[in-house]
Amino acid sequence: MKASWDIFCCVVDNFGDIGVTWRLARQLAAEHDVAVRLWVDDLKSFERLWPAVQPSLASQRHEGVEICQWPQQWPAVQAADVVIEAFGCKLPADYRAAMAARPAPALWLNLEYLSAEGWVSGCHGLPSPQPDRLQKYFFFPGFVEKTGGLLRESGLLARRQAFQADPEARRAFLASLGVTVAPGARLVSLFAYENASLAGWFDAMAADASPTHVLVPQGRVLGDVQAWLAVDELAVGAVHRRGALTVQVVPFVRQDQYDLLLWSCDFNAVRGEDSFVRAQWAGQPLLWHIYEQEEYAHWEKLEAFLALYVEALSPAAGQALTDLWRAWNQGLAMADSWRRVLEHWPELAANARQWGEKQAAQPDLATALVQFYRNWI
């Protein structure tokens, strides 16, 4: 009999939490032969990532996963063998009671946000005793041994490498989005929160001697793009040129297509957690717009990741990339750091590929979760 898994997700900031939990649920069902229910409190946002989802349904199946509306009035359901409380969301009291009533205990995991901070490996897998005879464990994704690793489906890097080695596949995918890239132009994707640095970065690209084509999926940064272009609106498909810079708005695409978008680009600016991890698997230089937290807790996460990511780079290349990331996340001028990044482009591109290969040598997050459960029972 298949082990049953329940994953609980409260949608925060539209896409990050549901993006991670949906990828995880799909992979568990497809690769580990477990029965997965994904409880989501906002199916409208979920529908943007996976258009087949019908927000009006209390329960539906997609990709081998039972997707359930997380209602205010909790229904009587049997607790699963493994319960994942994603990103600090609180389990319903009635569900906790169902967990306590099970004849055999359930494995209760608090899936934490991704961090490269040093303390993570020491806290990964630690128990946290709870009332009513329950106990949960902290489970941390991460970039080093003694963490839970990163979400990565089987064969992902091989598929990426095959796609990137096939110019016709890239051309056809971009054409499906209405994108035609001029010969020799650098292709950049931009998925970000609102950012005061955008105007200066765009100015630098517009003034560059080499052409750049920026693809902007629908999202929060469009307001800043619109202000820089000084236009009244920006609809999907809009193309504007200023100097050496072409800016094009593309649709908000489903997750699998977003991977192809990242694989097609030479440089990817991403935000939050889900797109941040997918950009690392793209094997191209990247820029992370981290989600802001109270008391600047996000800044420590950013610096901790950078320390690992630039470790194999020359001092000059590492400093150029570090300065770019810091400027982007503080709303500062980016022209100088962007120019220095371009000077070190071959080294940064090689480092991006090597970083992905290094991370792929570790167990992926879904596999690590399944192994933790097997060791626990």
* Active-site residue flag, 273: yes
Mark whether 83 and 184 lie in a shared domain. Answer: no
**pLDDT tens track for 85-126:** 999 899 999 999 999 999 999 999 999 999 999 999 999 999
Mark whether 270 and 172 lie in a shared domain. Answer: yes
**pLDDT tens track for 42-62:** 999 899 889 999 999 999 999
**pLDDT tens track for 288-316:** 999 887 766 789 999 999 999 999 999 99
Mark whether 319 and 199 lie in a shared domain. Answer: yes
At 217, which CATH number? 3.40.50.2000
How many angstroms from the chain centroid is the CA of residue 196? Answer: 22
Confidence of residue 132 (pLDDT cuts 50, 70, 90): confident
* Active-site residue flag, 17: yes
Mark whether 356 and 369 lie in a shared domain. Answer: no
If one counts the domains in the chain, the total is 2
Mark whether 322 and 189 lie in a shared domain. Answer: yes
Angle (CA) 261 116 82, round 5°: 85
CA distance 312 to 360: 17
Mark whether 333 and 372 lie in a shared domain. Answer: no
Could you give phi then psi for residue 96, rounded to 5 degrees?
Answer: -60, -40
Confidence of residue 14 (pLDDT cuts 50, 70, 90): low
Range of the domain at 308: 156-360
Q: Which residues contact 178 (CB under 8 A, 6 or more apart)?
A: 237, 248, 250
* Residue % of the chain over a pLDDT of 90: 91
Mark whether 185 and 291 lie in a shared domain. Answer: yes
**pLDDT tens track for 316-336:** 999 999 999 999 999 999 999
- Of 81, 273, 347, 364, the active-site residue reads 273
Handedness of CA 83, 87, 88, 92 (dihedral sign): negative
- Of 6, 17, 203, 259, the active-site residue reads 17
Q: Tell me: pLDDT of 157 over 80.
A: yes
Residues constituting the chain: 377
Mark whether 367 and 296 lie in a shared domain. Answer: no
Mark whether 183 and 170 lie in a shared domain. Answer: yes
Mark whether 289 and 254 lie in a shared domain. Answer: yes
**pLDDT tens track for 186-209:** 999 999 999 999 999 999 999 999
At 18, which CATH number? 3.40.50
Residue pair 351/316 in contact by the 8 Å Cβ criterion: no
Mark whether 235 and 135 lie in a shared domain. Answer: no
Mark whether 146 and 172 lie in a shared domain. Answer: no
